[in-house]
Amino acid sequence: MSKKSKPRSALSGAGRKERLTDRKRAAIVQAAVEAFQQYGYYAASINQIAEAAGVSKRTLYNHFDSKEALFDAIIEELVFRVGQLPACRFDASCDLAGQLTELARTEVDFLVSEDVLALARAGLSRVLVEPDAGQQVDQKFSLRRVTDWMKEAQAAGCLLEADAEFAAMQFVGLLRTFTFWPSIVHGEPPPSRRKRNQIVAHTVEMFLCRYEVK
């Protein structure tokens, strides 16, 4: 074996070990999501999570030193998924209602996706009991993407001058009320595509009645 081949072999081994470590970490987080949904954050045990993940308790603690750290990992996964949403920039040359409709559809599709609903349900039992944890979720699960679009539309003179963050909260809040919260709180199935389109259309109409510059 040449000297050049040794580093490649070593790197290959390290890469395999790193991938295995990543898979174990992902399995632990997924097991925590399922356990928190089934038993609630406080009733779920580290032993249950480790067993479901197929790892030892020691291995679990090598990745996460507490249930709180597992909760934080779930929130970070939600934040990561928010970050994967397509960028939205206001375009003054395009129809205002059309842009809002696309923005709303993207938001709704994200909110009702199976993975996002599972992550949200997993954190709910703790958020309901610990207000501070709920504030942490709100801060990380931000509305910056929608707020930035609102600010750009205001700067272009297409939306009335107002608190852009508050306007974004109203817009997304309407969408969540009819698509996200019924699934989280009442266990209802996500609305059909036809129903989602109706919700989006009504939300856009109501929002423009209040904020569009006539």
Domains of the chain: 5-65 (1.10.10.60), 77-211 (1.10.357.10)
pLDDT score, position 202: 98
pLDDT score, position 4: 40
Model pTM score? 0.80
Residue 201 identity: A
Q: Helix or strand or coil: residue 212? A: strand
CA–CA separation, 32 and 70 (whole Å): 7
pLDDT tens-place string over residues 7-44: 444 445 556 656 778 899 999 999 999 999 999 999 99
Main-chain dihedrals φ then ψ at residue 153, nearest 5 degrees = -65, -35
CA–CA separation, 27 and 24 (whole Å): 5
How many alpha carbons lie under 13 Å from residue 40 in its C-beta half-sphere? 7
pLDDT score, position 10: 44
Q: CA-based angle 14:29:113, to the nearest 5?
A: 115
pLDDT score, position 154: 97
Radius of gyration of the chain (CA): 22
pLDDT score, position 75: 86
Q: Helix or strand or coil: residue 24? A: helix
Q: Structure tokens of 171?
A: 């817009």
In total, the chain counts a number of residues equal to 214
pLDDT score, position 98: 97
Q: Structure tokens of 55?
A: 């790892």
CA–CA separation, 94 and 34 (whole Å): 43
Q: Do the Cβ atoms of 133 and 127 come closer than 8 Å? A: yes
Burial of 123 (0-12, 13-18, 19+ CB in 10 A): buried
pLDDT in tens, the chain (214 residues): 434 434 444 445 556 656 778 899 999 999 999 999 999 999 999 999 999 999 999 999 999 999 999 998 998 888 888 888 888 899 999 999 999 999 999 999 999 999 999 988 898 888 888 877 766 666 555 688 899 999 999 999 999 999 999 999 999 999 999 999 999 988 899 999 999 999 999 999 999 999 999 8
DSSP state letters, 131-166: HHHHHHHHHHS--HHHHHHHHHHHHTTSB-SS-HHH
